Amino acid sequence: MVTSTPVVYIKPPKGVPKPSALQSPRKNEITILLIGETGSGKTAFMSLLANLFHGCDPLELEEMNDKANESGHNKTQSQTKDATLYIINTSTGIKIRILDTPGLADTKGLKEDEVHKERINHAIQSNLKYIDAVCILANGTVERLGMATEYTLNQITKMFPYSIIDNIGFIFTHCDEFTRHVKLGDLPEALKAIRSSRDWVIQNPLAYNKSYRELAGDPSIAATLLKKGRRNLRDSYEAAVEKLNDWVGWLDSRKIQPTHEILRLYQMSTDIETQMSATWQRIARLSKEREEAKKLEHDLNGAKMSKKDVEERIKAQTEPTWETVETEEYNTICIEPTCHSNCHISCSIPFSLDGATLGNCCSAFPANWGSTARGLAAECTECGHTAQEHRHHYHKHEKKPRPIPEETKEALRSAATSEQTAAAALIFAEQRIKTSNADIQKAQATIRGLIEGYNQLALSHDFVGHIRSAIKMLQAHKSNLETEGAAEGDIQLIDQNIEQFQCKLDLLQEKREAGR
């Protein structure tokens, strides 16, 4: 559920301002967005920055993040529940703003990532008009680029416009120059846009400090070991300060970037997703109509049919059918395949792709408000399906007629024999096939046009590549679940997600409908 972004002012420890351990930026204000894979150390990095800007020495380092915003999940799931804006005012009057974001590639599923991206964009829209840098954090100790990391980087290049390419930097965590394995030059072709970004390696002394304190509190630990620990902590601290001073210099040299292009790209992405959903339903309907027409054509060519049989077959193919039609405002509609309910026309809550947000806030789920909030499990009072089957769409369901062309009507009226009726019906079937093919191609072209506009703006220029990356990520997750002996229901859910992404991929590939 998208709520207002938490804003946390980080004050100096013990309330005593001290000179920054880092060089003072020339800018009066710096705004940084931290983003990366779950477990990459974004929040710990933010805490380190707060400590250093407040002048803490190695033994004074402490966690400065908002504990209330931690999820308590295991390390494969995002520890940060919501995007949080941290504000640090240094002793020299410099304001450092850091937007800490939930991790991507969460093992709770790719839908969770969509919720996280929605929260990130909501936080940007609500709090940031300009940014100085987007800092991508990644674990530098992995032997090779893992599926989760590759997927995360694909998602990041989908989220940000090419206009900020010079403002993107990498922080490789948990490593130094000797233990780092990942190199930007080794990134796959799909991520070539960010290969030339600046990068730094940071062995965060905050974690070392925590371990040292635990040992220092144990009276059985030898003094020589603690002395060695203090020396190593000091070395780690000084190395981090050296690296981060270079990083601060880079921040100083960045031209600030307005965030409206980020928000515009996100809106384009959500528009494409909703359009794809509606278009896929339309293509499924058109494909069914085409197959019905082909069967009629086949039957007319292969067997003699009475005039009554022909008329009944044509009538069945011209019954009104459900379609999705565009609307100026977004609505809460049911997307369960057999349901065509418009559950809340012109929904008044902020646009959301998160079913749980609709379940908790949309008026189609009034029994679910307040302390009884059930999120995705909430039942709609209009159609009875759960919130998981509902989405915001700039479309609504509408039953529309499928009229018989006037010339076909006239031919059927004037037909005196079964042969004449069959001939008129054959023309109708051929026209229906031709029209269905044209409508399918038009629907595909509309989506491809939207994606071309998106690709011109985005870092990666490859919307389809993001879908392929998501499929690979899901397949890897499925393999892990099977190895761990997960419940069959969990694996079936992954299969359903893979099928949904494959449908999107099919929709964007011209060859799917070409020549049929």
More confident position, 114 or 258: 258
The per-residue pLDDT for range 225-242, each reduced to its tens digit, is 999 999 999 999 999 999
Query: Which residue reads 């990666």 in tokens?
Result: 460
pLDDT, residue 190, reads 76
The per-residue pLDDT for range 205-228, each reduced to its tens digit, is 998 999 999 999 898 999 999 999
pLDDT, residue 370, reads 56
Separation of first and last alpha carbons in the chain: 43
Confidence class of residue 373 from pLDDT cuts 50, 70 and 90?
low
Tell me the mean pLDDT in the region 437-452.
83
CA atoms within 13 A on the CB side of 101: 28
Query: Domains plus CATH for the chain?
Result: 7-257 (3.40.50.300)
Q: How far is CA 462 from CA 88, 152, 192, 363, 451, in A?
A: 37, 15, 11, 37, 9
Q: What is the SS3 string spanning 394-454? A: EEEEEEECCCCCHHHHHHHHHCCCHHHHHHHHHHHHHHHHHHHHHHHHHHHHHHHHHHHHH
pLDDT, residue 372, reads 52
Judge contact between 295 and 303, C-beta under 8 A.
no
Rounded CA separation 261/257 (Å): 9
* Percent of the chain scoring above 90 in pLDDT: 35
Alpha helices in 198-259 (DSSP H): 205-216, 223-252
**What letter would DSSP give residue 37?**
B
H/E element, 393: strand 390-400
Rounded CA separation 24/248 (Å): 8
pLDDT, residue 256, reads 96
**Residue 317 burial (10 A CB sphere; 0-12, 13-18, 19+):** buried
pLDDT, residue 313, reads 80
Residue 68 reports pLDDT greater than 70: no
* Strand ranges inside 301-389, DSSP E: 321-334, 342-344
Confidence class of residue 342 from pLDDT cuts 50, 70 and 90?
very high
- Return left, alpha or beta for 81; rule: phi > 0 is left, psi -120 to 50 is alpha, else beta: alpha
**Residue 379 burial (10 A CB sphere; 0-12, 13-18, 19+):** middle
pLDDT, residue 332, reads 96
More confident position, 78 or 5: 5
Tell me the mean pLDDT in the region 500-506.
81
Rounded CA separation 77/107 (Å): 6
Q: Single out the residue of 131, 136, 39 nearest to residue 80, CA to CA.
A: 39
Residue type, 65: N
Helix (H, G, I), strand (E, B) or coil at 160: coil
* Cβ count near 511 (within 10 Å): 7
pLDDT, residue 3, reads 56
CA atoms within 13 A on the CB side of 54: 25
Judge contact between 310 and 485, C-beta under 8 A.
no
Q: How far is CA 254 from CA 21, 33, 190, in A?
A: 21, 14, 25
pLDDT, residue 511, reads 42
**What letter would DSSP give residue 267?**
H
Q: Which two tokens stand for residue 213?
A: 């304190």
Confidence class of residue 348 from pLDDT cuts 50, 70 and 90?
very high
Q: How far is CA 373 from CA 82, 358, 360, 390, in A?
A: 18, 11, 5, 16
Rounded CA separation 141/202 (Å): 11
Q: Single out the residue of 425, 445, 414, 415 nearest to residue 512, CA to CA.
A: 445
Rounded CA separation 104/78 (Å): 7
Judge contact between 143 and 118, C-beta under 8 A.
no
Q: Single out the residue of 274, 276, 277, 291 nearest to residue 437, CA to CA.
A: 291
Helix (H, G, I), strand (E, B) or coil at 247: helix
Judge contact between 127 and 85, C-beta under 8 A.
yes
Q: What is the SS3 string spanning 66-87? A: CHHHECCCCCCCCCECCCEEEE
More confident position, 31 or 218: 31
Confidence class of residue 108 from pLDDT cuts 50, 70 and 90?
low
pLDDT, residue 79, reads 45
What residues contact 407, with CB distance under 8 A and at least 6 apart? 427
β-pair type (29-36, 7-10): unpaired
Residue 81 reports pLDDT greater than 70: no
What residues contact 448, with CB distance under 8 A and at least 6 apart? 508, 510
pLDDT, residue 247, reads 98
pLDDT, residue 1, reads 44
Judge contact between 226 and 214, C-beta under 8 A.
no
pLDDT, residue 48, reads 96
Confidence class of residue 433 from pLDDT cuts 50, 70 and 90?
confident
Judge contact between 96 and 87, C-beta under 8 A.
yes
Q: How far is CA 62 from CA 212, 288, 438, in A?
A: 12, 63, 64
The per-residue pLDDT for range 279-323, each reduced to its tens digit, is 777 777 777 778 877 887 778 777 677 778 877 888 887 888 888
Confidence class of residue 514 from pLDDT cuts 50, 70 and 90?
very low
Tell me the mean pLDDT in the region 36-59.
92
